Structure 1
Amino acid sequence: MGLTWKKRVLTALLGAAAALGLTTLILLLVEATSVLLPADTKFGIVFDAGSSHTSLFVYRWPADKENNTGVVSQALACQVKGPGISSYASNPAQAGESLQDCLEEALALVPEAQHQETPMFLGATAGMRLLSQKNSSQAGDIFAAVSRVLGQAPLDFWGAELLAGQAEGALGWITINYVLGTLIKYSFSGEWIRPLEGTLVGALDMGGASTQITFVPGGPILDKSTQATFRLYGSEHRVYTHSYLCFGRDQMLTRLLARLVESSPGPLVRHPCYHSGYWTTLSPAALYESPCVHSTPPPDLARTLTVEGTGNPGACVSAIRGLFNFSSCEGRGHCAFDGVYQPPVRGRFYVEASSPGQDRCASGLYILTLLLEGYGFREETWPNIEFHKQAGGTDIGWTLGYMLNLTGVIPAEVPARWRAESYGIWAAGVVFAVLTLLATLGAVAVHLLWPQG
């Protein structure tokens, strides 16, 4: 009788184990669905070598992209110590050395396994454009020194180049519209969608040596040299863009001071654009080294120049408007407001601008004069102009636009697929697996411990 009961219990336990195991297998296989694992993250590094300083930016984006363009975010911003690389004309090697600290920060952020596949690019803007005009050999030495330093980094170095003014303006337009969500945005349904037409904004960039204007015109662009076309997130964009060399903030102040020197009877010059009690001692000869100053120093020029002023806004406006003729710019065609631009009549504009405290009066009034008399804005359109250094928590400039454009030529990676179950199915599978194990262990115990006979 004992043997019969043993067989019965053993058979029941083995049958239950088989049934439970089969049910577990069915739950794992039949109810499994295919899911995409999160895409790997790619990185890119861009140096913005401006006229007054150099900045490094690290960007990242999911490797699978969206309509052949990466959804890029800023991961790091690092300002290089010292002036812009164009200031190292007499010591080109120092231009390359100045980039080392920020480069080390970027290398620490990007995973070491991805160093070799991470693109890095340095774009030089108006400061180097002016140096190239003044002394192309010195500019070439600086680019060579910078390339040597960056080329030794364990990254995919794409080169150090002079960025054209039109490209700077167009890429800055991409940046602003991207961070404002007017190129593409994430919907509440969890999808990337293209915003409605008419939401794009124009971009005004006030740099140290040049200023740019970029926007989507209401009609055809008559001068094709001012047109930029690119494709982002499956949509084609055509913008008007123009860069005005010599109309940046620093060069404006240089030309202003040069005019003061020419009209001054002695080393002390009083000017309404400078704050009361603010003095500065300059080397007058250095004022005439810029290609934006098209006159020669007076023969009796003193060795030093001291500037004093009251910071009177009304007098400063008159002084700036008297200084700049927006139709000729000293007769230089490359920095003239020559009528090829098409003033916007509606829409919002974002302006990237900054000014050190001691020159805030002159700089602010110059920007006002530039907008009203140079670009042709009117008082009724003033509420549509916003001034920012950042938008959406991201630095405004050409570098993000460059990286967005670059992602179009970097191959996307297809996300890995995996079979997975819902939580309920997974929990049921675990329960049946545990019951299968218990039934199997019970059968083993019956077989080994149940007495024979």
Structure 2
Amino acid sequence: MIYDHTPTDLYITGSGGNEAMLQNFRKRSFTTYTLRGRFCALFVVTGVVVFLLITYNKSGFLKNDVSPGRDFSDLGSLPMGVPQAREDVEQFAIVFDAGSTGSRVHVYRFKVPLSKGRRMELKDEVFIQVKPGLSSYSDDPEKAAQSLVTMLDRCLEEVPHSMYNSTPMILKATAGLRQLPEGVADNILNSVTELLRTYPFLMEENGVDIMDGIDEGIYSWITVNSLLDLQDAGDEKVVTLDLGGGSTQITFDPWDKETILNAADYLKNSTVFQKKYQLYTHSYSGLGLMSARFSLMGGSVNNNSPTLTSHCLPSGQSTEWKYNNQNFLVSGPTDSNMDSCQESARTLVQSQVKPIPELSRRTLYIFSYFFDMAVDVGLLDANEGGSLVVEDYYTAAMKVFKGQTKQDLFLGMDLMYMYTLLHDGYRLPDSAKLYLKKQINHVEMSWTLGAAYQLMSAMNIAR
């Protein structure tokens, strides 16, 4: 509201005009003084009230009174972010990771500086996950969508009500849906899209889709290097190796001319952190951990047998296993041994993985199933993470295989596959050091943060 304090012109005539003018002048001066005082008081009180409301809301006491199905049209057109200070704006982003073994959502809160020369800063993250993944509902798309409701409701709680329709939301499906028949995957994504659009968050037309494996690798690289604060031009970026259920990715900024000359098909120019990079990125579909299990047990698109076997499984033991929504009975033959298992894994990875000589001289961060399996056998602390060498996976595989029980039937196979992927696929020496973390600065090591940064960049608010 604008207050206009310009006095009205007065015209006074007659014999008493001077005295009347003087009296009116005194009265008018007093009125102006009073209005100014009242305006200042009103300004101060308003400022205090606004400050208390913001503090009250940020303290978590002001809960969002919303639920699915509510009419959110009353939110209107809201501004981008809520000013917290002269140079900072708060911004949220929601990224769903629809993976092969489960669905996860990351709610990120950023501090976006208004002044130039300062980068957007991640303040905190809320992480929720459910199992199984969307691909498990191939025969029931509606149920696939409903599996996300709990996480969507949590998003309503974590994002302030006033920022709902200025908070972007995307869902990216990975290898699990990539491997489904096109029509089946489309039906699931259509149902998911319909559900997500009943919520008040900001969604682009292609906000729900299947992510290319190359983008998955690049987003992972952005995530790790940003969490390590390696965003400036002179920083030595790290190599990222991600092992999911259906695929595995490697991404890095190549140094050697040999890498650049021999890998032209896998080089991609990307702009991240407002800088341009030429990245080597390769996604190997079918070499994720669950896909590798299937292959090592003789499974293939042409093999519809419900029974699978592998030298990587202990002799005389069997169990049921579900893969791609199909049930199998898996077992180990009488002549099971780790040497035969290693040879099978070597044949699998060397038929696809391209060796990169410079990797042995680079800093390597590996995560996802690489981390989970290392924790399962006691090589790492689940909270702290740490570092290993490549050979540790081989040593752990041999120990597990010798004393294996039915409860950890796949553990020896998984560890040997990881060792073979690193040693015989990427040709890393046994002594190559590997860094493994579940989180960095309390933020999950996931491609989703990189996707959020790119999303913020597309909205022209990233720095």
Class of the TM-score when normalised by the shorter of the 2 chains: 0.5 to 0.7
- Segments of structure 2 that go 5 or more residues without pairing to the other structure are 1-83, 377-407
Most deviating of 61-70 and 363-372 = 61-70
Contact 1:68 1:233 in 2 (8 A): no
Render the CA deviation track for 1:184-206: whole Å, top value 9, x for unaligned.
xxxxxxxxxx3743x21100000
Match in the other structure for 1:345: 360
Match in the other structure for 1:318: 340
Render the CA deviation track for 1:46-85: whole Å, top value 9, x for unaligned.
00111111110011112326648522244200002x2111
Contact 2:360 2:429 in 1 (8 A): no
Change (3 A) 1:36 1:254: closer
**Aligned match for 2:147, one of 91, 98, 102:** 98
Change (3 A) 1:37 1:215: same
CA RMSD of aligned residues (A): 3.4
Are residue 307 (structure 1) and residue 331 (structure 2) matched?
Answer: yes
Instruction: Name the % identity.
Output: 28
Render the CA deviation track for 1:261-318: whole Å, top value 9, x for unaligned.
x99x99795x5534688641357xx68x99xxxxxxxxxxxx9635258998xx3253
Change (3 A) 1:362 1:224: same
Change (3 A) 1:153 1:259: closer
Change (3 A) 1:232 1:259: closer
| 1:219 CA displacement | 3.3
Match in the other structure for 2:245: 208
Match in the other structure for 1:364: 415
Q: Greater relative contact order: 1 or 2 (C-alpha under 8 angstroms, separation 6 or more)?
A: 1
Change (3 A) 1:389 1:112: same
| 1:363 CA displacement | 1.1
Structure 1 distance, partners of 2:133, 2:441, is: 26
Residue 458 of structure 2 aligns to a residue whose secondary structure is: coil
Change (3 A) 1:68 1:38: closer
For normalisation by structure 2, the TM-score amounts to: 0.65
Are residue 402 (structure 1) and residue 441 (structure 2) matched?
Answer: no
Change (3 A) 1:267 1:175: closer
Contact 2:111 2:120 in 1 (8 A): yes
- Segments of structure 1 that go 5 or more residues without pairing to the other structure are 1-34, 184-193, 291-302, 330-335, 415-453
Change (3 A) 1:166 1:259: closer
Are residue 114 (structure 1) and residue 151 (structure 2) matched?
Answer: no
For normalisation by structure 1, the TM-score amounts to: 0.66
**Aligned match for 1:155, one of 181, 192, 201:** 201
Match in the other structure for 1:19: none
Match in the other structure for 1:374: 425
Are residue 71 (structure 1) and residue 121 (structure 2) matched?
Answer: yes
The residue correspondences of 1:325-340 to structure 2 (distance < 5 A) are: 325-326=347-348, 329=351, 336-337=352-353
Render the CA deviation track for 1:206-260: whole Å, top value 9, x for unaligned.
0001000111111353344422333334432221100000000001111122369
Contact 2:88 2:111 in 1 (8 A): yes
| 1:114 CA displacement | 0.3
Contact 2:346 2:424 in 1 (8 A): no
Are residue 231 (structure 1) and residue 281 (structure 2) matched?
Answer: no
| 1:160 CA displacement | 0.6
Letter paired with 1:319: C
Residue 56 of structure 1 aligns to a residue whose secondary structure is: strand
Are residue 136 (structure 1) and residue 182 (structure 2) matched?
Answer: yes
The higher radius of gyration belongs to: 1
Structure 1 distance, partners of 2:148, 2:129, is: 9
Change (3 A) 1:268 1:196: closer
Structure 1 distance, partners of 2:281, 2:330, is: 39
Question: Alignment length, in residue pairs?
Answer: 336
